[in-house]
Amino acid sequence: MKSTKFFSVALLGLFLLSFNVVSAQVDMLWDTHRVGFKVPRGFVIETNNADEFSAGNDNVYVTISPIQDENLTTDDLAEVVAVMVKEMDYDLVTDGDAVEVQNFTGYYVRGSKDGANAIVMALLDPESATNLIVVVMYSGDFEKQALTTVNSFYSY
């Protein structure tokens, strides 16, 4: 009887833990350009039109803009990101590299400005002429959430 009660309590605890892990992230969709990504619960959409999508919470903020250029290639992505980072006037750019994110090819850099951290990424959609510039701003302790977001982009 005692082992059955222990087993039931352990099973309930495992269920609650797995539910919390599964529910920690939710899908956010930008239907205009048919792109989705995962964000922490509690994100609030601020802008959602053909030119920009932005949403965030107190710790992580995402802005996406389309680049309509069917001639854009993977060779151009590093230059596109470099131009964006220069326009944003970042104090420190720490690293950058090519990435494969779901069905996108991309390039990213990490930077900071006035104590705010950001990941700036260009994503090339091989299925359409719509490509994306993604900027994820985050406070210092929330880099893991920012990385989870940038690594979760997909087109649909």
Per-residue pLDDT reduced to its tens digit, 51-89: 999 999 999 999 999 987 778 888 899 988 988 888 888
Identify the structural domains of the chain with CATH numbers, from first to last. Answer: 25-155 (3.40.1000.10)
Q: What is the pTM of this model?
A: 0.80
Phi and psi based region of residue 36 (left: phi greater than 0; alpha: psi -120 to 50; beta: remaining): beta
| Mean pLDDT (the chain, rounded) | 84
Per-residue pLDDT reduced to its tens digit, 3-21: 555 444 444 444 444 444 4
Q: Which helix (H) or strand (E) holds 108?
A: strand 104-113
pLDDT for 69 equals 76
> Residue 149 above 60 pLDDT?
yes
pLDDT for 30 equals 96
